[in-house]
């Protein structure tokens, strides 16, 4: 028990836990993206997908609780790591100067993470508490065809893209899987993955704004 507590309290332990929960959350994103891609096949396909999802209801509840736990652990350890780094600021400054290589993603992890969190809370509340009488395709169309909500989705997903582009690279360092020989490959792989996820998710609000027949 003491070993676990010491591991969770160390900066390395926090990073490993953030990496593992981050991988879990990235897997959810891929599943969510694949499901949402049914939007491209029209409103009936999207409504059918959502209806099928709810056929697995007891299992879905367990999945949702698991997902919530992953989010809470990831956020909790993220905040704790941020505070830990703040406390170690003078030494961190020295490392930063000598190692260089700060990217937009690494410099903004906390802020992009907070934007994604705000977006998820809004998004979850808006779909979970949508009127039961409305088809999910109508709920999403109404949201994405309103300029303020479409912008909110675009900003939230753009922040997710930047967050993922750094997180998916840095996790390899945390779990000891990085090597200078393939560091560029890992960086490009993380960026490529983030760009694909971001581009497909962003295509929905963009399409909804540009095309009146979206999900009709
Ligand atoms: C335009 C893009 C998106 C669309 C159209 C969309 C659509 C949906 C829909 C319809 C649901 C409800 C599923 C149901 O229970 O019937 C849902 C749930 C959810 N979405 Fe999204 N989503 C989008 C982007 C995102 C992004 C980028 C994230 C994460 C950063 C996300 C996270 C979630 C979460 C956490 C849930 C609740 C999970 C659950 O109830 O199983 N969504 N989304």
pLDDT for residue 57: 85
What does the pLDDT look like over 171-188, one tens digit per residue? 998 888 888 999 999 999
Rounded CA separation 208/183 (Å): 38
CATH of 2-210, one of 2.40.160.20, 1.20.1300.10, 3.90.650.10, 3.30.70.100: 1.20.1300.10
If you measure from the C-alpha of residue 35 to the centroid of ligand 1, how many angstroms do you get, rounded to a whole number?
Answer: 9
Rounded CA separation 147/138 (Å): 16
Is the pLDDT at 98 greater than 50? The verdict is no
Which residue's CA is the closest to the ligand 1 atom numbered 2? 201
If you measure from the C-alpha of residue 28 to the centroid of ligand 1, how many angstroms do you get, rounded to a whole number?
Answer: 10
End-to-end Cα spacing for the chain: 56
Cβ partners under 8 Å of residue 175, min gap 6 = 16, 19, 20
pLDDT for residue 94: 53
Choose among 87, 73, 94: nearest CA to 23. Answer: 73
- Residue tagged 């999403």 (tokens): 140
Choose among 108, 14, 121: nearest CA to 4. Answer: 14
What pTM, to 2 d.p., does this model score? Answer: 0.91
What does the pLDDT look like over 136-147, one tens digit per residue? 999 999 999 999
If you measure from the C-alpha of residue 43 to the centroid of ligand 1, how many angstroms do you get, rounded to a whole number?
Answer: 16
Give residue ranges with CB within 6 A of ligand 1.
32, 36, 50, 53, 64, 116, 120, 123-124, 127, 136, 140, 153, 157, 160, 201, 204-205
How crowded is the C-beta side of 184, counted as CA atoms within 13 Å?
A: 1
**Domain boundary assignment for the chain:** 2-210
């Amino acid at each position: 028990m003491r070993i676990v507590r010491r591991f969770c309290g160390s900066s390395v332990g926090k990073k490993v836990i953030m990496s593992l929960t981050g991988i879990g959350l990235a897997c959810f994103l891929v599943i969510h993206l694949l499901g949402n891609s049914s939007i491209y096949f029209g409103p009936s396909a999207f409504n059918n997908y959502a209806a099928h999802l709810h056929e697995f209801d007891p299992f879905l509840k367990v999945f949702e609780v698991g997902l919530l736990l992953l989010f809470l652990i990831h956020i909790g350890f993220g905040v704790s790591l941020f505070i830990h780094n703040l406390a170690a600021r003078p030494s961190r400054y020295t490392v930063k100067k000598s190692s260089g290589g700060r990217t937009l993603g690494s410099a903004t992890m906390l802020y992009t993470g907070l934007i994604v969190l705000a977006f998820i809370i809004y998004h979850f509340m808006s779909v979970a508490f949508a009127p039961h009488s409305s088809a999910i395709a109508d709920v999403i169309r109404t949201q994405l065809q309103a300029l303020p909500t479409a912008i909110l989705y675009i900003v939230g997903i753009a922040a997710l893209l930047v967050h993922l582009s750094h997180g998916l690279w840095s996790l390899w360092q945390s779990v000891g899987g990085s090597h200078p020989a393939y560091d560029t490959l890992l960086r490009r792989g993380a960026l490529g993955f983030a760009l694909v996820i971001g581009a497909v998710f962003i295509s929905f609000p963009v399409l909804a704004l540009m095309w009146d027949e979206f999900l009709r």
